[in-house]
A and B are shown apart, each in its own frame.
Chain A
Amino acid sequence: MRDNRSRLSPAARLTKWLVSSPPFAFLLLFFVAPGIIMVFASFRYPGEFGGLAPIIAADPNTLHGFTLETYRFFFGDFIYTEIFAKSFLVALATTLICLIMAYPLALLIARSPKNRRDLMVLLVILPFASNFLIRIYAWMILLGPQAALSLLVNGLLGAFGVAPVRLLFSPFAVLVALVYVHLPFMVLPLYTNLEKHDPALLDAARDLGANAWQRFWRVTFPLSLPGIFSGSTLVFIPVLGMFAIPDILGGTGDMLIGNLIKEQFLGTRDWPFGSTLSIMLTITVLACVWFAARLGGRRRRHA
């Protein structure tokens, strides 16, 4: 058989180039270029009124040129590592809760009659039809001190003589909203995976003596690992960089990496340190993805 990939006709080569170059150019311009700018920015001094200090200064007594100052600062204060660790744990918790909540739902949709599945998937993605911020603000009302949920919880706590708690502006509120927003990103890849499973495999497992529990753990679950990996990636990475939800629903102590970075650019206007934080975040995310890919790749040999 002729290898079509290496022997493209000139017309086919032109088509390939025309189709692939716009997205390539887009990514180059808005992804790679800002990334490089950020790396450079992280090695410079902050400007006097925000922005960056010049590389070559007119007055040699002002700050200028390149420095490792921001990195020294980052590793010098334990608080930043702590915020990183906390963000990592919050992202992990969100991912796990999403997984535990999404799995039964995805399974239910995948095992429903074909004509009902589309409607159910539509219902899962329906929240995307309304604005993200509006949905977050809605949680402010739902978790507010006068909301039914708060009254119920505090009523119960009061009955046992425990002091009332505040649901809003707490790590709890942040976690609830993070799970709420990212749940569909876990459901969809899981459903896509589970829907492809051959039902004959479960019949076979049953025929060979496996009870319902064994059928799940020995057949369905291992076969759904690729879906779990992609769903987890889709939840974990955005949560790690999320700032809007902790900003709106979190208390003063609920700062995550995203808030810290946002603060550097918009609050203290320390661009170099903001860039450093961003780069550290990117490195963390890449490390996580690499780890997940390795973990997933080991099992994917047979798929």
Chain B
Amino acid sequence: MALLEIKNVTRRFGDFAAVDNVSLSIEAGEFFTLLGPSGCGKTTILRMIAGFYLPDSGQILLDGKDLADTPPEKRPVRTVFQSYALFPHMTVAQNIAFPLKMARCAPQDIQKRTRETLEQVRLADKAEHYPNELSGGQQQRVALGRALVSHPRLLLLDEPLAALDAKLREEMQLELISLQREVGVTFVFVTHAQDEALALSHRIAVMNRGRVEQVDEPSKLYGFPQSRFVADFIGHINMMDAQVIEAAHGHTRLAIPGLGEITAPPVAGVTAGGLASGAKGAFAIRPEQVRIGIHGEAAELKNHFPGEVRNLLYRGDVTVYKVHLANGLMVEALLPNSAPGRAEIFEVGDTVSIGWRHDAGVFLHA
């Protein structure tokens, strides 16, 4: 049985359905992420799990028990708030001891567990400091320690890294991963940053307009998006309108207007001959899957087209080429600069050949 079960939950604010018939199931020990643009309903789901909002319809079950009648203070669920919400009039140690005090633990027990947690979040030397004397990263760790000290069944994290600068954010990401592995608590993490979600999570639910678009492991989500929204939201992708010519026997043949015929991998979930020819959709392929070579060089690939370099962005580790194709499409190709002699071999205006393997890219319905 899943640890947390969200069943057909809907929550409206006025006429606006912030969460629209969402069902999710989160396993014990998982690092689960709700990912989506702002206003997609991810924070509303988090607040419903914490108990600050009640669903208008549907159920939230923890260990199979409906939480509807349990107020937030009684749920074995803790939240790390975006602003950290540390108590400014309490020291770090007092902040961390707070949930234990509320639970009326024995004083020596409070002391022992507070000390353990301080060690765990590496703040033992800051125990007597006040939150305003700490750096952003340290405040973040106090919030984590305070939420974890009473061993919750579930830890909810509401964009906890949004306030940190890029370098610190990466540090905290690594820390979060090892902390979660260490304490074994199930994490439900909310973010709008797709790179963060990919780096941290065991599974990700991509949300859009109050609905769940796709739930998958990061690599599946990145490699096999099931909708245009997911493909577009996660990472960079080239998207072109396409029409099915034939979908069967382990491959798919697609027609791309103005470009011709390409061969694509089989469409997920479609049995042989299941997808009608003529079905419209989009072909999506990641820039790093697109090869670029001097005119005629990519010819050994099944899908190859001539084009002209219109733009290039040198990024240090890679160079991004924007290649203009005959049908007016602009395709992005990524070339690592690590290979000797490979860096910046193409200039703007060069005629090049681009192509990709027949098993790269995905076809997305409608």
Contact = CB atoms under 8 A, between A and B. Distances in A.
Given A204-B79, A208-B99, A209-B103, A222 B89 contact: yes
B136 interface: no
Name A's interface SS. helix
Interface stretch (A117-125, A150-158, A195-203, A258-266): A195-203
Contact of A218 (B78, B85, B98, B132): B98
Nearest to B143: A204
Contacts of B85: 198, 200-201, 203-204
B130 interface: yes
Contacts of A219: 87
Contacts of A223: 88-89
A211 B79 contact: no
A228 to B, nearest CB: 13
Contacts of B99: 208-209
A206 B73 contact: yes
Contacts of B77: 207
B346 interface: no
Contacts of A5: none
B89 A302 contact: yes
Nearest to A300: B89
A15 interface: no
B73 A203 contact: no
A13 interface: no
Interface size range of chain B in the complex: 20 to 34
Contacts of B146: 208
B98 A205 contact: yes
A222 to B, nearest CB: 5
Contacts, number: 64
A196 to B, nearest CB: 11
B167 to A, nearest CB: 23
Interface string B95-125: 0001100110000000000000000000000
A207 B81 CA distance: 10
A219 B98 CA distance: 11
A296 to B, nearest CB: 13
8 contacts: A203-B52, A205-B98, A206-B71, A208-B150, A219-B87, A301-B130, A302-B88, A303-B88
A209 B98 CA distance: 9
Contacts of A210: 73, 98, 102
Interface size range of chain A in the complex: 20 to 34
A153 B147 CA distance: 55
The 7 closest A-B pairs by CB, nearest first: A204-B85, A209-B102, A302-B130, A208-B99, A200-B85, A207-B79, A210-B102
B109 to A, nearest CB: 15
Contacts of B71: 206
Nearest to B72: A206
A112 interface: no
B178 interface: no
B72 A207 contact: yes
B81 A209 contact: no
Contacts of A206: 52, 71-73
A209 B150 contact: yes
A81 B146 CA distance: 53
Contacts of B83: 198, 200
A116 interface: no
A214 interface: yes
B104 to A, nearest CB: 10
B50 interface: yes
Interface in B16-74: 50, 52, 71-74
Given A203-B81, A204-B79, A223-B89, A209 B52 contact: no
B48 to A, nearest CB: 13
Given A207-B50, A209-B103, A214-B102, 4 more contacts: A206-B72, A207-B72, A208-B146, A211-B102
Kindly name the residue among A204, A206, A214 whose own CB sees the greatest number of chain B CB atoms within 10 A. Answer: A204
Interface string A215-228: 00011001100000
Contacts of B130: 301-302
Contact of B78 (A208, A301, A302, A303): A208
A204 B150 contact: no
Contacts of A204: 79, 81, 85-87
Contact of A200 (B72, B78, B81, B150): B81
Contacts of A303: 88-89
Contacts of B73: 206-211
A303 to B, nearest CB: 7
Given A198-B83, A200-B83, A302-B132, A207 B89 contact: no
Interface string B122-138: 00000000111000000
A200 B50 CA distance: 13
Contacts of A201: 85, 87
Contacts of A222: 89
A273 B102 CA distance: 58
A218 B102 CA distance: 10
Contact of B89 (A203, A214, A299): A299
Contacts of B98: 205, 208, 210, 218
Nearest to B131: A302
B88 to A, nearest CB: 5
A219 B132 CA distance: 16
B68 to A, nearest CB: 17
A208 B144 CA distance: 12
Contacts of B86: 204
A28 B102 CA distance: 54
B44 to A, nearest CB: 14
Interface in A247-303: 299, 301-303
Contacts of A211: 73, 102
Contacts of A209: 73-74, 99, 102-103, 150
Kindly name the residue among A201, A205, A206, A223 whose own CB sees the greatest number of chain B CB atoms within 10 A. Answer: A206
